[in-house]
Amino acid sequence: MPQNAPDIPRLILGSSSAYRKELLGRLGLPFETMTPDIDETPQPGETPDATALRLAREKAAAVAARAGAALVIGSDQVATLDGEQIGKPGNHDNALKQLQKMRGREVFFHTALCLWDGRQENAAAAAQIRNVQTLVRFRDLPDAELDAYLRIEQPYDCAGSAKNEGLGIAILQSIHSDDPTALTGLPLIALTDMLRNAGVRFFGLRNA
């Protein structure tokens, strides 16, 4: 990664996700990546949006504890159908079951984002946090098409078993969100708001 300019805070993406790394790279800011390494198990009775928000904050805080005076980005996504959380399938059989359950249905994706400012001494002031919701309707496709898609793209590390930035867009009927990058895993509109609040400037301009 390029070296930080003197007036740009050290920026760290608290994630090992290639999707989030690609999205953050679009902003043209120098950044590093660090793995949060936290337990992502939902807590008993926790709502899907609460799970996403808590994990985004915990990821950012875990990396910030090791990074010092840096801006740390944490993000987490939870998909829900009828209020039930839909996690990463992990394998082909689970992914097929997910897609069969979601076909012809609307699924909510909660993409939570936290920007932790390690320059702040107070933890309450250090964290900016937001949940960006996306409503996705899946096409009502036969098992053969769903199975064929999974064997081509193998989206077994994606909540909802589909990569909307890839061939998975062909099994989606519609996407509704205030932030088109939220579904991929890192809401850039919300993130640029947070970075501006933390003093980061864009387009090659120096901080005021």
So which residues are the catalytic ones? Answer: 76
DSSP 7-74: TS--EEE----HHHHHHHHTT----EE-------PPPTT--HHHHHHHHHHHHHHHHHHHH-SSEEEE
**For the chain, give me the number of helices (H) and strands (E)?**
6, 7
d(CA 78, CA 84): 10
Asked if 118 contacts 61 with a C-beta cutoff of 8 angstroms, the reply is no
Q: Which DSSP helix (H) or strand (E) runs through 113? A: strand 106-117
